[in-house]
A and B are shown apart, each in its own frame.
Chain A
Amino acid sequence: KAGVTQTPRYLIKTRGQQVTLSCSPISGHRSVSWYQQTPGQGLQFLFEYFSETQRNKGNFPGRFSGRQFSNSRSEMNVSTLELGDSALYLCASSSSTGELFFGEGSRLTVL
């Protein structure tokens, strides 16, 4: 069974630009969550989508947004990038019993 797939794996942007990251969950998983990982703040929850609806949202500014499609694939978007947005963005899909499985992440560098 294929795992969680995230694209792109690495990307470099400049301040003020916007970025879109993609995530394909494990087949059959309907919940997709996004996390930001930085050395100083650890793993921070961004939002969760279930059946195309945002079910929960973390404490991030409105520049961070996401969506989920009918095939459970999800995208997250960050607009007006800031230097502090440089991080590893992790997507995770969860089973019906709440187990969370992560992808390899998208490493964003903002210059």
Chain B
Amino acid sequence: GENVEQHPSTLSVQEGDSAVIKCTYSDSASNYFPWYKQELGKGPQLIIDIRSNVGEKKDQRIAVTLNKTAKHFSLHITETQPEDSAVYFCAASEGSASKIIFGSGTRLSIRP
């Protein structure tokens, strides 16, 4: 079955700097790669996703890149702000909601 590994587990960056979180997956059949942000006491929120027919996708300060050959994808957050502090999860799926496999999460802290 699919296995998703996420690194780093914790990340601390200076406000205004960029943050990068990386994930690898094992199942070449996976074609949908969402990223979730979970703030304290809340459920995970879908922030950006990418499908296998696209190499990069941007939405304001966040971007995701996908390398299908190497089976890895990354989340990039530029010009980080205090409200970016949260736990971020990557995930991979063949397209079915019930087959979404999550990474173990990255706790991102933004230093003022």
Residues of A participating in the B interface, judged by any CB pair closer than 8 Å: 4, 6, 31, 33, 42-43, 45, 47-48, 55-56, 90, 92, 94, 98-105
The answer to whether the Cβ of B73 comes within 8 Å of any Cβ in the partner chain is: no
* Residue pair A105, B43 in contact (C-beta under 8 Å): yes
Of the residues B36, B97, B102, contact of A31 by C-beta under 8 Å: B97
Give min CB distance, B93 to chain A, whole Å. 6
Given contacts A6-B43, A98-B97, 17 further A-B contacts (CB under 8 A): A31-B98, A33-B98, A43-B44, A45-B100, A47-B98, A55-B98, A56-B98, A56-B99, A90-B44, A98-B32, A98-B93, A100-B34, A102-B36, A102-B43, A103-B43, A104-B41, A105-B42
Complex-state Cα separation, A52 to B1, whole angstroms: 26
- Residues of A with C-beta under 8 A to B99: 56
Number of A-B contacts (CB under 8 A): 52
Of the residues B97, B103, B105, contact of A33 by C-beta under 8 Å: B97
Question: Interface majority SS on B: helix, strand, loop or mixed?
Answer: mixed
* Residue pair B100, A100 in contact (C-beta under 8 Å): yes
Q: Given the interface contacts A43-B89, A99-B34, A99-B49, does A48 sit within 8 Å of B42 by beta carbon?
A: no
